[in-house]
Structure 1
Amino acid sequence: MDTINALIAECRKRNVTDLMQIAYVLATVFHETGGRMQPVLENLNYSAQGLANTWPSRYAVVPKAKVKVPTALVKKLAHNPKAIANNCYANRMGNGDEASGDGWKYRGRDLCQTTGKVNYRRCGVHAGVDLVQFPDRIMEPAIAACNIVCGMRDGWFTGAKLSDFINAQGTDYLGARKIINGTDKAAKVAEEAQAFYNALT
């Protein structure tokens, strides 16, 4: 309940006042945290097969094959979360190369698995905290709440934002999943959003 109240307060602070939009923020957090409604740290303890299945374009010998065969590199990375993060997230999202350690430093955290130096910097600006220097602080509930609310409001994650799907013309909870993750589990999140809306009204 504390996290729900904090998220509602953050929505209002950031001028997200439409109850249907607030309900969708709450449903997104509920889904992304596995119902815990608390900041979560990315689990990067993958087996070689797990890496090949999860990121076939990077770690499978033939990415489009039905059965993904791990590359030789993956066998070296398996069950080493730090090495996996540094390899997988190198030279992306504002991160430096593999040796920089940025992949591990800016791995997925908070209420929506924020990843990458550029995204940590952007959240820090809005939260008033130097998250580039102190990335672990994104796990603090108030900072995590700022990130998800501002990110969903302004389209940080995919370019899609709350007002694209929930506005004066109507509410498209199904389509709103594009704000975070395409169509993955869209119907489930839509159902949760409706439940949150019913509880808020």
Structure 2
Amino acid sequence: MITLTELNAISKDKATPLKELTKAQIAELQAALLKLGYLTGSIDGFYGYNTCNAWAKFMDDADIDHEADSINTGSIGKLQQMLNDPIGARGYDFSTKTGTIEAIKCECICHGIGLKTQIAYVLATADHETNHTFKPVTEAYWLDDPDAYLKKHHADYYPYYGRGYVQLTWDYNYEKFGKLIHKDLLAYPALALEPEIALFVLVHGFKTGAFSGRKISDYINGQVTDFVKARYCINGQDKAHEIAELARHYLAAV
């Protein structure tokens, strides 16, 4: 959990402009916004457009009414409240396919992926990537011993091969998500198969563009719905039309 020690040191008398925060305070704010899915990119401690825009989005979602480019004790308190909601605390039921589908819907909404078209596409992706089981899977799961196969044929990224509702791959991605959820995924990569963690990776990745640099909102938003190009968020155009058809199916049911 991220504890906002640096930000809690700001003046309690009035709102403080973000540009007046120290580098340490900006870095702490960036880490919090990254964890919640509002910020993309790196934590560098420098105030800029991305940080300001991410903070404005957070304030809008949290219904905070002071100036969008400033921060006060109320907005810090709301930020800490959201950070205190750890993975698994929402009590999702992953024991059935129906329960997992509902968990994905709720997690999407919690991360600001609220359009029915967006939720439908996330569901379609999880459906396809898990071979319609809605259970976290490993890469090459259809083999008798996928671990041995991947160790032999994909030594370049072994043991950080694909795991989850969508394939989390490569050591740097395991490290990045591990830092976000405060779990040592580098030391214990199999943790990525835990449903709560796999769910966070799936939804956070779609929101921030963590998988390919493309966010779901790039292709599905209030103005356009492109279920085919949305596949670029995950894996180029591999099976793009099949997943688009699944998304249309889920859209009718969302």
**For the Cα contact (< 8 Å) 2:139–2:146, is it kept in 1?**
no
Return the alpha-carbon distance in structure 1 between the equivalents of residues 194 and 123 of structure 2: 17
Of residues 94, 109, 114, the one that matches 2:163 is: 109
Aligned-pair CA distance for 1:169: 1.5
Return the alpha-carbon distance in structure 2 between the equivalents of residues 28 and 7 of structure 1: 11
- Residue deviations 1:80-123, cap 9 Å, x none? 94474366242xxxx6xxxxxxx12x121111121111111222
Aligned to 1:190: 244
Q: Does 1:31 align with 2:134?
A: no
SS at match of 1:178: helix
Spell out structure 1 runs of 4+ moving beyond 3 A: 79-84
The structure-2 alpha-carbon separation of the partners of 1:44 and 1:111, relative to structure 1 and needing over 3 Å to count, comes to closer
Q: Given the two structures, how large is their TM-score scaled by the length of structure 1?
A: 0.70
SS at match of 2:136: coil
Higher Rg: 2
- Residue deviations 1:5-44, cap 9 Å, x none? 1111211221211111111000000001110111001228
The structure-2 alpha-carbon separation of the partners of 1:195 and 1:31, relative to structure 1 and needing over 3 Å to count, comes to same
Of residues 133, 137, 162, the one that matches 2:191 is: 137
Q: Does 1:88 align with 2:154?
A: yes
Return the alpha-carbon distance in structure 1 between the equivalents of residues 128 and 196 of structure 2: 19
Relative contact order, CA 8 A, sep 6+: which one is greater? Answer: 1
Aligned-pair CA distance for 1:45: 8.7
* Runs of at least 5 residues in structure 1 that lack an aligned partner in the other structure: 47-78, 96-102
SS at match of 2:138: coil
SS at match of 2:164: coil
Return the alpha-carbon distance in structure 2 between the equivalents of residues 157 and 85 of structure 1: 22
Identity of aligned residues (%): 38
Of residues 127, 136, 141, the one that matches 2:181 is: 127
Return the alpha-carbon distance in structure 1 between the equivalents of residues 153 and 246 of structure 2: 35
Letter in 1 for 2:193: M
SS at match of 1:148: helix
Letter in 2 for 1:26: L
Aligned to 2:13: none
Aligned CA RMSD, in angstroms, stands at 2.1
Q: Given the two structures, how large is their TM-score scaled by the length of structure 2?
A: 0.56
The total of aligned residue pairs comes to 156
Aligned-pair CA distance for 1:127: 2.8
Aligned to 2:118: 21
The structure-2 alpha-carbon separation of the partners of 1:80 and 1:135, relative to structure 1 and needing over 3 Å to count, comes to closer
Of residues 159, 176, 193, the one that matches 2:213 is: 159
